[in-house]
């Protein structure tokens, strides 16, 4: 497994008025392997988009390191930055908002090429644009049309074509299907899969629920209130989620086959995500956790490998804490 991206102890805090601090991303670490899809999942406001944006440099990190192909991305020289930004691209949730309404599709896709001085020859550039349109399931007749002439799914295809314009290696897809009709979601997911195979892309795929991510991700990190609380292979997470939050997220996904009776118990989480300005002490999930114990209020759960390649931050799987708790129970 070749590591392409290393995120270490990444923190992104936002300073707000009256000295308040929003801890959007609070000490997050993970690796992404070359050619895989890494899913980052959590409810809105958990810090997953901020993580993506800090990785790609749209935000400066408050603390911690992001290393891409062995280089710290936050200390690149201007020249290195240029090449870095051609290798890493982003796809957004709302393609309409990220496409200039006054530009034709051709101009939209040409823009990054021109910014990077990719094609001296206009004809060559146009051929490349046609090729990209075909790659994303559109055609050359679309080149001279404007974004508003397209459906949501087609617009996302245009956004993808533009993201591919510089031949990237790594794509951060920030909820690329959340704004689309369910029927269109699978088409876009299949397109991303196809492009990944054809072009050897690596994906960081950000999503707010697990329903689609499980089909495309090799590994998944579950995020809650600025922290990654569980990280493992996609199949592991589905077979045996360890963290109570992951269990709740999974129980919210309906079983697709209507003939199979869904006998699983729905885990409904009480309450809202607490504010990242004032996170709970100890385990950040404890105010909503059905399994919370005494230690959860006082002690931050340790990030550890509870099973092979299965990492979690929860006292339930920490033998030292369990032992203490049992001893306390025994002496009562
Ligand atoms: Fe729940 Fe405690 Fe585990 Fe946090 S550490 S998820 S509160 S059991
Ligand atoms: Mg978001």
As a whole number, mean pLDDT of residues 197-216 equals 92
The Cα–Cα gap between 306 and 211 comes to: 24
The Cα–Cα gap between 332 and 329 comes to: 5
Which tens digit of pLDDT belongs to each residue from 77-105?
Answer: 888 888 888 899 999 988 778 899 999 99
User: What Rg value do the Cα atoms of the chain yield, rounded?
Assistant: 22
The Cα–Cα gap between 229 and 244 comes to: 10
Q: Would the CB of 310 count as within 6 Å of ligand 1? A: no
Which tens digit of pLDDT belongs to each residue from 178-197?
Answer: 889 988 999 999 999 999 99
pLDDT of residue 168: 97
The Cα–Cα gap between 165 and 19 comes to: 42
By DSSP bridging, strand 202-207 and strand 170-174 are: parallel
What is the Å distance from ligand 1's center to 274 Cα? 15
Has the ipTM of the complex gone over 0.85? yes
- For residue 160, give the nearest of 125, 136, 141 by alpha carbon: 136
Which tens digit of pLDDT belongs to each residue from 294-310?
Answer: 999 999 999 999 999 99
Q: Which residue is closest in CA terms to ligand 1's atom 8? A: 292
The Cα–Cα gap between 86 and 168 comes to: 6
By DSSP bridging, strand 219-224 and strand 170-174 are: unpaired
Dihedral sign for Cα 252, 213, 9, 81, please: negative
What is the Å distance from ligand 2's center to 319 Cα? 35
Q: Which residue is closest in CA terms to ligand 1's atom 6? A: 314
pLDDT of residue 319: 80
Which tens digit of pLDDT belongs to each residue from 222-240?
Answer: 999 999 999 999 999 999 9
Q: Would the CB of 291 count as within 6 Å of ligand 1? A: yes
Q: Would the CB of 315 count as within 6 Å of ligand 1? A: yes
The Cα–Cα gap between 318 and 288 comes to: 19
What is the Å distance from ligand 1's center to 291 Cα? 6
- For residue 34, give the nearest of 196, 176, 210 by alpha carbon: 196
Predicted confidence (pLDDT) at residue 284 exceeds the cutoff of 70: yes
pTM for the model stands at 0.91
Mean pLDDT of the chain: 91
- Please report, for the chain, how many H helices and E strands are present, in that order: 12, 12
- For residue 310, give the nearest of 215, 225, 246 by alpha carbon: 246
């Amino acid at each position: 497994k070749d590591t392409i991206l290393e995120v270490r102890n990444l923190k992104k805090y936002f300073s707000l008025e009256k000295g308040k601090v929003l801890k959007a991303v609070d000490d997050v670490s993970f690796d992404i392997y070359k050619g895989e899809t890494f899913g980052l999942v959590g409810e809105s406001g958990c810090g997953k988009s901020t993580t993506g944006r800090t990785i790609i440099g749209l935000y400066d990190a408050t603390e911690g390191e992001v290393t891409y192909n062995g280089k710290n991305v936050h200390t690149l020289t201007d020249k290195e930055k240029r090449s870095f930004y051609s290798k890493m691209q982003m796809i957004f949730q709302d393609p309409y908002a990220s496409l200039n309404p006054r530009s034709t599709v051709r101009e939209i896709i040409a823009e990054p090429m021109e910014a990077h001085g990719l094609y001296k020859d206009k004809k060559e550039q146009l051929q490349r644009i046609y090729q990209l349109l075909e790659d994303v399931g559109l055609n050359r007749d679309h080149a001279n049309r404007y974004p508003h002439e397209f459906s949501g799914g087609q617009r996302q295809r245009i956004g993808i074509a533009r993201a591919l314009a510089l031949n990237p290696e790594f794509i951060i897809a920030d909820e690329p299907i959340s704004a689309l009709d369910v029927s269109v979601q699978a088409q876009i997911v299949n397109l991303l899969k196809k492009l990944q195979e054809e072009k050897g892309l690596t994906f960081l795929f950000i999503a707010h629920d697990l329903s689609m991510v499980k089909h495309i991700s090799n590994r998944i990190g579950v995020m809650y209130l600025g922290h990654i609380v569980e990280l493992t292979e996609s199949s592991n997470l589905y077979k045996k989620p360890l963290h109570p939050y992951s269990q709740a997220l999974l129980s919210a996904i309906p079983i697709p086959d209507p003939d199979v009776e869904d006998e699983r118990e729905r885990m409904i989480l009480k309450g809202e995500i607490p504010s990242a300005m004032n996170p709970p002490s100890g385990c950040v999930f404890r105010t909503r956790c059905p399994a919370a114990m005494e230690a959860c209020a006082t002690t931050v759960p340790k990030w550890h490998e509870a099973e092979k390649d299965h990492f979690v931050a929860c006292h339930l799987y920490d033998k030292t804490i369990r032992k203490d708790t049992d001893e306390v129970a025994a002496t009562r």
